[in-house]
Amino acid sequence: MFDGYTTSELMSIFAMQGFAGLSLFSVFVLMALGLAIIFGQMGVINMAHGEFMILGAYTTYLTSGFFQSYMPSLFGGYFFIAMILAFLICAALGALIEWLMIRHLYHRPLDTLLATWGLSLIMQQAYRSIFGAREVGVELPEWMMGAIQVTDLVELPINGLFVMIIALSIALGVYLLMYRSSWGKKVRAVVQNRPMAEAVGINSAGVDRMTFALGCGIAGIAGAAFTMIGSTGPSSGQAYIVDTFLVVVFGGAQSLIGTIVSAFGISQAQSTMEFFLSGSMAKVLTLLVVVGILMLRPEGLMALKVRR
Amino acid sequence: MKNSSPLKWFASREGLYYLALALLLVVILPLALDPFRLNMVGKYLTYAFVAIGLVMCWGKAGILSLGQGVFFGLGGYCMAMFLKLEASTPEATAIQSTPGIPDFMDWNQLTALPWFWEPFHSLSFTFIAIIAVPVILAFVIGFAMFTRRVGGVYFAIITQAIAAILTILIIGQQGYTGGVNGITDLKTLAGWDIRTDSAKTILYFVCVGMLFLCLFAARFVQNRKLGRILVAMNAQEMRVRFSGYDVAAFKIFVFCLAAAFAGIGGALFTLIVGFMSPSFIGIVSSIEMVIFCALGGRLSILGAVYGALLVNAAKSGFSESFPELWPFAMGALFIGVVLAFPNGLAGLYQTYVMPLEDRLFKRKPKADKAEPVSQKPVEKKDEGRDYDPMLDQYSPEKS
């Protein structure tokens, strides 16, 4: 499949496709972080995660519209406000959903999966009724447009870079929260041994609710970032959910580093193969390899070793 | 078995339920509905095959597959390939640049029939393939996963990914599969025109007949020791393993059984609807099949049939009058079934209607005559134990 390309051309192709893969990587990381927190830490499958992401995207869309009509002078900075709003709205909705639905189902993970699927159907249709079935896009502020020319053949779009920076900072933030804060310590204690954590006085129900809300909030940020590189439609979230689940499971459900590594691997493989094969075959091959590896190594790339 | 004589069985309570379903499907619906509506009921019934498989696989054995659409689709595609080849005779396709191959292949510049299409010239091969292809795939998946003790949520996600892969593959390989339109323009089955009203009515009755065969097969499995082991495995996998049973083998068996049912359903779907397309395979339709089973009652094979009928009828009804409301109703159904009545209609029936029946017919309530739904309380309590990844999985004190 590499016939007919010179080495330097191949290098440029890999660099370009590699960068194209990086924006996919950013979306994967942002979505997978939220999922990994919820699934890895609580064992809950949130099928509506994509819809939470789209909620964040629509929040960004509305914020950008608001800034455009009322505060055009501050338009350059709207994205940061939108990101915070998206986080807060999604986290609040997440906490509400946890209270209404998820907490009754902790001992039935398969049922959570079905219930959140129902939730995702409802949310999708709500978007369709409110925002219409057509995809909407936001207007990028001036400083995010354009590209950095690295060599003659390789140029990097600024919005892609920006999204990647967001993805990595959120990942770092989650790492610090999980491994360097007292709250993270509680979460990990509950994951490793719930009865024991309760016995030492950790409010495990509260930890659960906060974890779920945090995961949904990160999905909201993912949505805000998503608007920078693509347009948003009612069912855009569903398109990513299976890939993201595979990213999480492939990385090892309870390992944040594993999630990032697997997001990187899957997005790079898919994007590089896309240049040489058709898009659909690239995706089929990537997914097949991932499923194949998961069948051989069900615990994922980096599994947390816990005595069971 | 208690009810060894068939006549006695039909007079028993369980037998009467089967008779009532037969009466509904064979007498009432054909008399009440015009051929068009009856054809639609036939289409709904093909989903009931999948739902019965899911009852065995998910309800009894606790293996949730979100990829049943794959097996449904494979069965359907096998049937559709045969019908398409029969419809693409050199005479009928004379205007193509390569006569004698299906039209979509010609559109995609294929000049010869691909090798995997060749055997589908034979009807008997097709009938074998309808069951064999889904079962072989199910065996491969099941063997790889269950012998490594992958279950629960992981299994659900991976089967879902497989549904996604197959859909993308079929859509991408347009020349070999017909792409997103699927395989359309199917005309005859071994010379018999399947598009006429009378053929559609006959196909409906064939479908009902096959459905009852599958129901009896499922009932046979659930009433043997095999069925008891499946239920036991769901509740206390470790204990079953320590009792010397090969848990993986039982899981593979029940997964293959569900795949076979789904394949039969898919083939009948192709015959009844007259085409097959990747939209019946994908993630969304695969997960919808789970709700048929969940609404009917995940432990009741008869409930699954009613669940498939009701959900699909509601879907058609809503889509005709309020298309924008259907996703809300569907979503609410998923949430409601899971939160409020996890044992579905069969569970409600057993709690509210059966005592009425007992009073009406002056019977003493007898647990042993009922469907195994009667084990509900034990079942529900144990369900969480199997999958909870956070805790010691089989700790007995967990509620």
Residue B380 lies in a domain: no
Q: What is the pLDDT of residues B115-160, one digit of tens each?
A: 888 888 888 999 999 999 999 999 999 998 888 887 778 888 889 8
CA of B328 vs chain A CAs: smallest distance (Å): 5
Q: Which token pair is B259?
A: 């795949």
Q: What is the per-residue pLDDT for B213? A: 93
Q: Is A298 on the interface with B (CB under 8 A)?
A: yes
Q: What residues of B are in contact with residue A249 (Cβ under 8 Å)? A: 154, 157-158
B299 within a domain of the structure (yes/no): no
Average pLDDT, chain B: 83
Chains A, B: CB contacts within 8 A come to: 150
pLDDT single digits (tens) B217-275: 999 998 888 888 988 988 888 898 898 899 999 999 999 999 999 999 999 999 998 88
Answer yes or no: is B201 within a domain: yes
**Tens of pLDDT, residues A231-266:** 888 888 887 888 888 888 888 767 788 888 888 888
Inside any domain, residue B339: no
Q: Position of tokens 């029969």?
A: B86
Tell me the pLDDT band of B390, cut-offs 50, 70 and 90: very low
List pLDDT tens digits, range A159-213.
888 888 888 899 899 889 888 898 888 888 888 888 888 899 888 888 889 989 9
> Model pTM?
0.85
What three-state secondary structure class fits B5?
Answer: coil
The span from the CA of B284 to the CA of B73, in Å, is: 13
The amino acid present at B69, given as its one-letter code, is G
Number of domains in chain B: 1
Domain of B74 in residue numbering reads as 38-282
How much is the pLDDT for B137?
A: 94
Is B257 domain-assigned? yes
Whether B358 is in a domain gets the answer: no
State whether A280 and B156 contact (CB < 8 Å).
no
Rounded distance, CA A172 to CA B83, Å?
57
Measured between beta carbons, which residues in chain A are less than 8 angstroms from residue B286? Answer: none
Please spell the DSSP secondary structure of B191-259, one letter per residue.
TEESSSHHHHHHHHHHHHHHHHHHHHHHHHHHHSHHHHHHHHHHH-HHHHHHTT--HHHHHHHHHHHHH
* Cβ separation A124–B168 shorter than 8 A: no
The answer to whether residue B376 scores a pLDDT higher than 90 is no
- Taking the C-alpha atoms of residue B339 and residue B5, their distance in angstroms, rounded to an integer, is 41
pLDDT at B4 over 60: no
Q: How many residues does chain B have?
A: 399
How confident is the model at residue B33, as a pLDDT? Answer: 84
Task: Report pLDDT for A308.
Answer: 44
Whole-angstrom distance, CA of residue A37 vs CA of residue B236: 28
φ, ψ dihedrals at B188, nearest 5°: -130, 155
